[in-house]
Chain A
Amino acid sequence: MGAASDAARATGSIAVPPAPRAPASPLRVALVGNPNTGKSTLFNALTGMRQRVGNFAGVTVERVEGSYTGADGRRVSVLDLPGAYSLDPHTPDEAIALDLLAGRADVPVPDVVVIVADALHLERNLYLVSQLIELGLPAVVALNQIDAATKRGLQVDVVELIHELGVTVVPTVATKGEGIDRLRQAIARAPDLPVPSRRMPVPRVAEQALRPVEQALVDDGVPPAAAGLEALLHLTAPGTDHGPAVHAAVVAARSQLLDAGLNPESLEAELRYGWITGVMHRTVKDPDGQEHTTSDRVDRLLLHKVWGMLIFLALMGIVFQAVFFWAAPMQEAVESALGWAGTQVGSAMGEGDLQSLIVDGVIAGVGGVLVFLPQIAILFLFIGVLEDSGYMARAAFLMDRYMRTVGLHGRSFIPLVSGFACAVPAIMATRTIERPRDRLATIMVVPLMSCSARLPVYTLLIGAFVPAMHIGGFLDLHGLVLLGMYLLGTVSALVVAFFFRRTLLRGQTQPLILELPPYRIPSPRALATTVFHRSSLFVRRAGTVILALSIVIWALATYPRSDVPDGIPDEAVQEMQLANSFLGRAGHAIAPAVAPLGFDWKIGVSIVSSFAAREVFVSAMGTIYGVGGSEDGAGLPEKLRAERNPETGAPVYTLATAIGLMVFYVFALMCMSTVAISIREAGGGWTGVRWAAVQFGYMLALAYLGAWLVRIGAGAFGWA
């Protein structure tokens, strides 16, 4: 710690008394900034792939940490705080940032605060900057997306900006890795520089009115450096968790300000933006001064009531068509690689249980899920493109009207769309919704959005049972059925949300306030990083949970070995063995429960096996049919098509069975991770458990009802 900051701390301008640390201890850095400033990209550029994701204690705000080694060999640990427009204690994300920086969190106060500001929207970003520099912590401003600002004709006088703010300012382009080394140097030097302090002028009358509030806050345990900022924040948000002395001081200050003709609610915004106007005037030249940007022109079309919606629906259609079309060649390649591996391992090993375990258990089980990696990667790529291009925020704006009719918030849209990829991050993304009831309603319906884990189930059944044909010469029926499944989930989510908002979660929905970032061409590198991170999560899951479950299912399907009479065909032998195995017995036990849905005991077994993770359905089918099916080398779809009822000789799987099974999976919440995250995000403890139980129960009931209705409907039309 530098002498200057030590001195500052000694005079009472810093949050928490620092514990003496060896010089070799890691430098703690916190990354703070507005949403849409490229903060996460900058975090990735600083720390590379070494990241740990967790939670702040006691709250559902994500905590992402990474680290790098500085030029002097010192370890630098970087904490990425959630995006914030201000340090407003009303919102959980912003309150956690304030608590952490003011030394009230369970983690030590950072040694350096890196404030990420978007050069293109510097004026608005300076609001948070002005609040942060008042905390008296060593700070560096990363002026990100400086290339976009230059391209737009803005000229930022960085030297003058440093002078105005009193902190180091480093221009960066995080997407291209530009300015990162200089930023690292500035971070290393920041603790040795004088700590920043309030730059905006405060009228004497306001200063006098606020002084007793500051004193009351300090007496109540608020660090002196943060008292000035917090006193201002308390004027607009009185009644937060401070003692009666603070409350009384705030009430007195408000009355004094009103007497002086000042508006306590808007005082902070007026003071800050008044100062920011001057800073902008002295540091930024905007010769074009264009009010209507290209983004506005694009928005004229994309936010149009009719055209905007049509384009949105067309985009969604393209995404689902592409998930099928683009992935097909890659899937074939993965399939043949797995087939080759199975054959090689099979021929290299002698006949026996070990060979069966490797070929039928591991390769068939895990491989059956890995085949869907290309589709999942493509889906994540599309979601990434929509997010990074700025379209996702427009979609939220466009959808707000419709979301509101079912009692959801426009911000619910992004978690719902993210639910197409995975319900776990989607449920975590509901944290941007401020009101608990709005948030809970979204959490309850997010798992109805068809996640990537359902994709293996859909594609297996569609590929096997839906005829490959084109409608109108260009619309692939496979893609249409897939779209239908996604639409069924989406519409159900909206209907269920409507019911929740009128029963258990009654109340008014919070109004929409959303920033629309300018349109950008997504950076291929950032997209690649996102797709890689998400896909590797899926592969890791396949390599751990699904591998373990595949082995368990194989063992249950193989043992106990039963004695079979001689002279019957191999297939019948395997069929009998499977029927007598533990898995077969369990399947027969639940067969009466799934019989009304038209499912046989093997499907029942696969459904039970996939209670922990949906995609296990496919690997369980692979294992069951790998063990009990024919040895003709046919793929799983062929084996499913060839499956006959031993008593009637009729096909077990018809189009109606396949649709019924898909509908079952559209609704059923078969994912341990989602249940766990729902418990945590719905409040944790018993409250969380109760909400998760309601969620699991209603989804299972819908799944059963849906599959049953498909069977009844198909029977009525004579399709069963």
Chain B
Amino acid sequence: MLRRLFSRPTAAPAGPCLNTASSAVAEACLESCALMACTTGRRAVVVNVGCDGAEACRLRAMGIYEGARVSVVDSRNGLLLQVRGARLAIGAAVAAAITVIPLPN
């Protein structure tokens, strides 16, 4: 489980996403990492929400889904994100289970 959470997948998961963000991901061809690894000010595109069913559903409803863009507002103490105009605070365990591709600033 831990290995899966902290591994660095080399490719985005199979299946193209439907919105434009995922095409941007494909074009960027950047290496993915855990959201937890992103620092303050970093923008990223979500490529995999690897949490349990209930958490994944909650995250997706709140705007953290495969293909969504997020901005890290504060990474000092857990992770504070800007998602769809709202501020979401997520714990380290959740942030470690979300795989993203950081976008160049």
Contact = CB atoms under 8 A, between A and B. Distances in A.
A517 B54 CA distance: 22
A274 B21 CA distance: 10
A305 B78 CA distance: 10
Contact of A299 (B51, B54, B66, B80): B80
Given A263-B15, A266-B65, A271-B18, A303 B74 contact: yes
A517 B88 CA distance: 9
A273 B74 CA distance: 24
Contacts of A268: 60
A85 B57 CA distance: 10
Contacts of B94: 511-513
A398 B85 contact: no
B62 interface: yes
B74 to A, nearest CB: 6
B55 A86 contact: no
Contacts of A510: 55
B14 to A, nearest CB: 8
Given A124-B84, A237-B53, A300-B74, A512 B89 contact: yes
A355 to B, nearest CB: 61
Given A299-B74, A299-B80, A511-B94, A273 B65 contact: yes
A86 B61 contact: yes
A295 B87 contact: yes
Given A90-B53, A308-B77, A398-B77, A236 B91 contact: no
Given A88-B58, A262-B15, A263-B15, A124 B63 contact: yes
Interface string B62-74: 1101111001011
Contact of B58 (A263, A400, A513): A513
B24 to A, nearest CB: 13
Contacts of B63: 123-124, 127, 269, 273
A516 interface: yes
B72 to A, nearest CB: 11
Kindly state the interface size class of chain A when it binds its partner.
35 or more
A481 to B, nearest CB: 32
A567 interface: no
B59 interface: yes
Given A303-B76, A512-B89, A270 B15 contact: no
B98 to A, nearest CB: 11
Contact of B88 (A86, A236, A265, A513): A513
A210 B15 CA distance: 18
B104 to A, nearest CB: 16
B56 to A, nearest CB: 7
Contacts of B84: 121, 123-124, 273, 276
Interface in A509-547: 510-518
A271 B68 CA distance: 12
A522 to B, nearest CB: 19
B13 to A, nearest CB: 7
A270 B61 contact: no
Contacts of A123: 63, 84-86
Contact of B91 (A296, A305, A511, A517): A511
A230 B85 CA distance: 27
B28 to A, nearest CB: 18
Contact of A515 (B15, B86, B91): B86
A397 B74 CA distance: 12
Contact of A270 (B17, B54, B87): B17
Contacts of A277: 19
A120 B59 CA distance: 20
A321 B20 CA distance: 55
A511 B19 contact: no
A681 B84 CA distance: 35
B16 A305 contact: no
Contacts of B25: none
Among B66, B73, B76, the most chain A Cβ lie within 10 Å of the Cβ of B73
Given A269-B61, A271-B18, A404-B91, A236 B53 contact: yes
A203 B94 CA distance: 31
A397 to B, nearest CB: 4
B13 A511 contact: no
Given A237-B53, A304-B76, A401-B77, A258 B58 contact: no
A236 B77 contact: no
B48 to A, nearest CB: 9
A397 B97 CA distance: 19
A483 B9 CA distance: 51
Nearest to A397: B89
A164 interface: no
Contacts of A387: none
A124 B62 contact: yes
Contacts of A643: none
B35 interface: no
B34 to A, nearest CB: 13
Interface of A: 85-86, 88, 90-91, 120-124, 127-128, 203, 236-237, 258, 261-263, 265-271, 273-274, 276-277, 291-292, 295-296, 299-300, 303-305, 308, 393, 397-398, 400-401, 404, 410, 434, 510-518
6 contacts: A122-B85, A124-B85, A236-B56, A273-B63, A299-B73, A513-B55
Q: Can you list the 9 inter-chain pairs with the closest CB atoms, starting with the nearest?
A: A512-B91, A86-B61, A269-B65, A269-B60, A90-B54, A511-B94, A516-B87, A511-B93, A397-B89
Interface of B: 13-19, 49, 51, 53-63, 65-68, 71, 73-74, 76-78, 80, 82-91, 93-94, 97
Given A123-B86, A296-B74, A299-B80, 17 more contacts: A88-B57, A88-B61, A121-B85, A121-B86, A127-B63, A236-B60, A266-B49, A266-B65, A269-B66, A270-B67, A295-B87, A397-B78, A401-B77, A434-B54, A511-B91, A516-B87, A517-B87
